[in-house]
Structure 1
Amino acid sequence: MTGSGDRTMHDVVVVGGGAVGLLLGCLLARRGLRAVVVERRSHAAPAGTSSRAIGIHPPGLRALAAAGVGDEVRRRAVVIRDGRVTCDGRTLGSLRFPKSGRVHSLPQREVEALLEARLAGARTVDLRRGLEVHGITDRGTHLIVHADGNDGAVDLAARYAVGADGVRSGIRSLMGAEWRPHGGRANYVMCDTRDDTGEPETALLHFEPSGVVESFPMPGGRRRWVARVRREPVDLDVAAVATVVASRTGAAFDADAASEPTAFEASQHVAYPIAAGRVALAGDAAHEISPIGGQGMNLGWSDAVHLDRELAAALAASAPVDVFGAYDRARRAAASRAVRQAAFNMRMGAPASGLPLRARNAAVRVLGLPGMRGVLARTFTMRWL
C-alpha cells in the first residue's frame, strides 16, 4: 500500500517517543534541524503510572541541561548525597558523593513530560503519536520510513533515521542487527512507598545472605524498594514485597502507602551492529542494560548526545552515508562497560552464605576505604560515560 504524501524532506526521523527519543528531538531542535519523532502510543503514560527508572547520573543531567530541561529537573528531583551498605545490621561501607557527582532521583515519566513540553515549543521538530513504523526503504540519497496510523499509511522522507524504540525494537529487526546476550541475569521485585527511613537523601543497600535489598529516595517523601528474588513470583502483591524487605532488613515498610508492585527480570543484550548505512539505534534499542545500578536510561541519553553531534556534522557535510561508523564503535564500547558494571552489581547482590558471603563483605569494606571511595564514586555515578 502506498503511504500518504508527506513531501517534507526531514533531516532525521526518530522512531520512539520515550526518554531517549524525546531528548534527541530536543537536541536536534536546538540546532534548528528538521526532524520528526514518531511514537506508536497515542498518549503519554498517565501521571500515576509506575516508572522503573528514577536515577539521573551526572552525564544524564548534562544531557538534560543541553536539551533545555536541566534546571527544572533539578528543581523537581531529590538529590542522593550519600549511600550506605549494610549486612545483618552492620555497616560495611559508606560513600558520600561529591557535589559534582551526585545522583538525582526523578521518575522517568516526569522527565519525559518535561522533554515533551519542551519539544512542543520547537519550530523545526514535531512529535507525531499514533504512528507505528513497519518498514524503511533506502533510496540512496535518503530514506523512506513507512508507518501506519489511525488515518492510514504514512511515508516519511529523511536523510537519516534513529531507532529509539526500546528493547523490542522494530527498527533493530528491520536493520537485521543481531541481539547478542551478555552476562548477568536475575529476578527482582519493586515497590514505591512512603519513606520512613529518616534518611531522605541516602541510598541504602542491604547485602543480605538471602539477596540484596536496595532502596532509594524519591520526590514527595517517597522511597523505592527493590529486592532480588530467586525466581519471578507467581502472585505478587504489596504484602509479599513488604515481607521480603522486613525479613531481610528489619525495616518498616508501609504497605498501605505503597504503589502497585512489579516484578522484572534483569537481562543484558547489545545490538551488533548499532548502526548501519543511514540508520542508527539508541537507548534500549541498542543495548539492554540491567536496571540495577540505574545505567540504562543515562546510557541512552549519552547515545543521543553523541548522535546529535554526528548528525549535525554529517548534515553540514551534505549528508554522507558513512556517518555512523565512529558512533557504532564508541557506543558498543560504552555499552560493554555498562554491561560489565551491571553484571558486577548483580553478582554483589546475589544470595550468598559461608565463605562467599564473608569474601563479598570484605570486598565491600575494602571498596569503602578512604583511598577507594573516589574510584567507587566515579564508577557508580557513571562519569566514565
Structure 2
Amino acid sequence: MDTSVLIVGAGPAGLMLAGELRLAGIDVTVLETLVRRSGESRGIGMTIRTVEVFDQRGLLPRLSRHQPDGIQYGNQGHFGGIGLDLGVLGAFHQAAKTVPQSVTETALEEWARSLGADIRRGSEFLSLEDDGAGVTVRTREASGERTLRARYVVGCDGGRSRVRKAGGFDFPGTPATTELLLADLRGVEIEPRMVGEQLSGGMVMAARLPDGAHRVIVAERDARPQRRTGPPAFAEVADAWKRLTGIDISHAEPVWVSAFGDAARLATEYRRGRVLLAGDAAHVHLPAGGQGMNTGIQDAVNLGWKLAAVLHGTAPAELLDTYHGERHEVGRSLLANTKAQSLLILGGADVGPLRDVLAELIRDDDVSRHLAARVSGLDIRYDVGTGSHPLLGMRMPHLRLDRDGRTTSSTELLRAGRGVLLDLEANPRLRARAQPWADRIDIVTAHPIPTDDVPHGTAALLLRPDGHVAWAAPGSHHDLPMALGRWFGTPR
C-alpha cells in the first residue's frame, strides 16, 4: 500500500478528515487538482455545531491567526431569509459569522500538515478500482500519469465528484431549476440587502465581507441554469443587478465571480466497499446559511475516528456502516430544510403568504428553537442504543469540570481525538470495567462544576471521539462493556 487512506479533494471536508486521521495515527494522502488554494470563499461563517467541533480539536486559535480583524460571533441567523434568533438555544458557543471558507481551508491545511498529512497539489484524480483488498487509483500529475494503492479512498471532491462517479454511487434528486450569480466586488459601496430580498423580477442579496469587499447574489425569476465551462462574466452579474435593482455596479472591480443553482441531490450510499463519500460529494443543495460546508466538516469528524479504528484493527469494518447510518440521515434532513428555504428565497410573490405565516410562527419559542437547532446542527441525535438519559446520542455539551483541583472541560478532554469515559462519582468499579479499553479511551475522574447542561444525578458518560454520548449512567439500557465493545471494538 502507498497509503492507508487516500482522500480526493483538499476542501474543508477533505482537510478535516486528513487531520482527524493523522490525530489517530493513520497515514493519509490528500490529492488536490488545484496547484494552490483559489482564495475564493463560497461559504462565509460557521454554524454553532462546527464552532464546537473546532473548539473540540483546539482549532479556534488557528482560525483567529488567519483572521486579522478577529472572528465575530453572533446569534443572528435566518431560515429562508426570515430572521432567526439562535440565542434561544442557550448554547455555550455562538455561530462564527465572519470566517471566509478560504480562512477555514488555510487553518485546516496548516493543522493537517502539522500532524504529518501528505497533501499533494496539482494531482488530478482519473479513475479507481476497488478489488476488495484495497483500491488502486490512477492520477495525472505534472510528470505524467501514475497509480497509487490505498486501503480506503474517500471522495471529498465536491458536487461534481469524480470519485462518486467512478465508484458507481447513485446520486438521485432534483436538478437545478434556476441559476444564481455571485460576485465579490471592490471599488464600490453597496447598501446591505437581506438574504433573499424579493423584487418584482427576482431575488437579490448584498453584504459586506470581513476583508472590506462586497458580496452580491442575484437570481432573476426566469434565469434557467446554463451549461457553463467556466465562471460567468462580471457583466452578466452587473446587468442582472441593474435590471432588478436599477443600480449600476458595472464600474466595480470583481474579485471573483461564480454561478450556482438549486439542485438537491443525496447519494444513496455513503460507503461502497472501500470507497466512501463525504461533504458535497455526498450531498448538494442550495447553499442556504452555509450548511453544506459545515455538514461536510461534520461528516469528516464522524468518519475519521471510525476509519482509524478499523485500520488499527481495534474495530470491525462494520463500524464504517454506522457512518452511512448516522450521516445519511443528517444529509436527508439537510436537503429537506434547504429545499424549504429554496422555496422561500426563490419562490417570488407566490410564496409571500407562506413567508408571512412562517414569520409569525417563528415568534413562538418552540418553533424558533426547532428551526434554530435544525440550521445549527444542534438537533442531531445518533442511534447509540436505547435508554432514558436525555444526552444519549447527542453531542456532549460543554461541561466545566474540576479534575484534581484543576478546572478543565469536556471539550478539552476530547482534544486528543480519543474516546473518554467520564466518571463523575469517583467509582473505582466503573473504571475497572473500562480498563481493558484503556489503549483507546481516556478514563477520567472529575466533578462537574454546576451546570444545567447535564441532568442532575448523572454518574458517568462515555464519549465517542466525535463528542457524541454513547452511554450514560444511569439511563442506558445496556451495560458499559457492551457499549465499549460496540464503539471501540474487542478489548486487547
- Bin of the TM-score, shorter chain as denominator length: 0.7 to 0.9
Shift of 1:282: 0.8
CA deviations on 1:128-151 (whole Å, 9 max, x unpaired) are 122223333334433333323222
In structure 1, the partner of 2:93 is 100
Match of 2:356 among 348, 361, 372: 361
CA distance in 1: counterparts of 2:158 and 2:114, whole angstroms: 25
Q: Judge conservation of contact 2:19–2:111 (CA < 8 Å) in 1.
A: yes
2:215 paired with 1:224:
yes
When Rg is computed on C-alpha atoms for both structures, the one with the higher figure is 2
CA distance in 1: counterparts of 2:80 and 2:308, whole angstroms: 47
Shift of 1:337: 0.5
Q: Judge conservation of contact 1:85–1:205 (CA < 8 Å) in 2.
A: no
In structure 1, the partner of 2:170 is 178
CA distance in 2: counterparts of 1:296 and 1:54, whole angstroms: 11
Could you tell me the TM-score, scaled by structure 1's length? 0.81
Matched residue SS, 1:219: coil
In 2 relative to 1, CA 126–183 (structure 1 residues): closer, same or farther, beyond 3 Å?
same
Larger strand fraction of residues? 1
Could you tell me the TM-score, scaled by structure 2's length? 0.65
Q: Which amino acid in 2 is paired with 1:41?
A: L
Match of 1:30 among 23, 28, 49: 23
Q: Which amino acid in 2 is paired with 1:214?
A: M
Match of 1:380 among 354, 366, 375: 375
In 2 relative to 1, CA 276–85 (structure 1 residues): closer, same or farther, beyond 3 Å?
closer
Shift of 1:325: 1.6
In structure 2, the partner of 1:3 is none
Shift of 1:245: 6.3
CA deviations on 1:312-332 (whole Å, 9 max, x unpaired) are 221232675444322122222
In structure 2, the partner of 1:52 is 42
CA distance in 1: counterparts of 2:218 and 2:263, whole angstroms: 16
CA distance in 2: counterparts of 1:156 and 1:269, whole angstroms: 30
Matched residue SS, 2:171: strand
In 2 relative to 1, CA 157–318 (structure 1 residues): closer, same or farther, beyond 3 Å?
farther
Q: Judge conservation of contact 1:68–1:118 (CA < 8 Å) in 2.
A: no
Q: Judge conservation of contact 2:136–2:148 (CA < 8 Å) in 1.
A: yes
In structure 2, the partner of 1:348 is 344
In 2 relative to 1, CA 16–157 (structure 1 residues): closer, same or farther, beyond 3 Å?
same
CA distance in 2: counterparts of 1:135 and 1:329, whole angstroms: 27
Q: Which amino acid in 1 is paired with 2:47?
A: H
In 2 relative to 1, CA 42–328 (structure 1 residues): closer, same or farther, beyond 3 Å?
same
In structure 2, the partner of 1:243 is 242
In structure 1, the partner of 2:307 is 311
CA deviations on 1:203-234 (whole Å, 9 max, x unpaired) are 65534554443344531344433233220598
Shift of 1:173: 1.6
Give the count of matched residue pairs.
Answer: 364
2:69 paired with 1:79:
no
RMSD (CA atoms): 3.4
CA distance in 1: counterparts of 2:139 and 2:149, whole angstroms: 11
CA distance in 2: counterparts of 1:207 and 1:96, whole angstroms: 24
CA distance in 1: counterparts of 2:285 and 2:165, whole angstroms: 19
Q: Judge conservation of contact 2:234–2:254 (CA < 8 Å) in 1.
A: no
Identity of aligned residues (%): 25
2:293 paired with 1:297:
yes
CA distance in 1: counterparts of 2:288 and 2:249, whole angstroms: 21
CA distance in 2: counterparts of 1:300 and 1:288, whole angstroms: 10
CA deviations on 1:64-105 (whole Å, 9 max, x unpaired) are 345553223256244344257999xxxx75635466242433
Relative contact order, CA 8 A, sep 6+: which one is greater?
1
In 2 relative to 1, CA 343–225 (structure 1 residues): closer, same or farther, beyond 3 Å?
same
In structure 2, the partner of 1:4 is none
Shift of 1:241: 5.1
Q: Judge conservation of contact 1:269–1:289 (CA < 8 Å) in 2.
A: yes
CA distance in 2: counterparts of 1:192 and 1:55, whole angstroms: 16
Matched residue SS, 1:372: helix
In 2 relative to 1, CA 35–229 (structure 1 residues): closer, same or farther, beyond 3 Å?
same
Shift of 1:372: 3.1
Q: Which amino acid in 2 is paired with 1:256?
A: A
Q: Judge conservation of contact 2:130–2:275 (CA < 8 Å) in 1.
A: no
In 2 relative to 1, CA 25–166 (structure 1 residues): closer, same or farther, beyond 3 Å?
same
Matched residue SS, 2:62: helix
Q: Judge conservation of contact 2:52–2:93 (CA < 8 Å) in 1.
A: no
CA distance in 1: counterparts of 2:64 and 2:176, whole angstroms: 32
CA distance in 1: counterparts of 2:79 and 2:158, whole angstroms: 32
Moved more, 365-374 or 27-36: 365-374
In the TM superposition, what are the counterparts of 1:188-337 in structure 2 within 5 Å?
188-193=180-185, 204-208=195-199, 210-230=201-221, 231-232=223-224, 236-237=234-235, 239-240=238-239, 242-243=241-242, 246=245, 256=252, 259-317=255-313, 320-337=316-333
CA distance in 1: counterparts of 2:64 and 2:106, whole angstroms: 14
CA deviations on 1:177-216 (whole Å, 9 max, x unpaired) are 11212487432122334796898xx965534554443344
Matched residue SS, 1:106: strand
Match of 1:130 among 116, 122, 126: 122
Gaps of 5+ in 2: 227-231, 381-492
In structure 1, the partner of 2:424 is none
In 2 relative to 1, CA 332–366 (structure 1 residues): closer, same or farther, beyond 3 Å?
same
Q: Judge conservation of contact 2:51–2:93 (CA < 8 Å) in 1.
A: no
Matched residue SS, 1:310: helix
Q: Which amino acid in 2 is paired with 1:328?
A: H
Shift of 1:284: 1.2
Q: Judge conservation of contact 2:16–2:300 (CA < 8 Å) in 1.
A: yes
Shift of 1:12: 1.0
Q: Which amino acid in 1 is paired with 2:322?
A: A
CA distance in 2: counterparts of 1:342 and 1:219, whole angstroms: 25
Matched residue SS, 1:14: strand
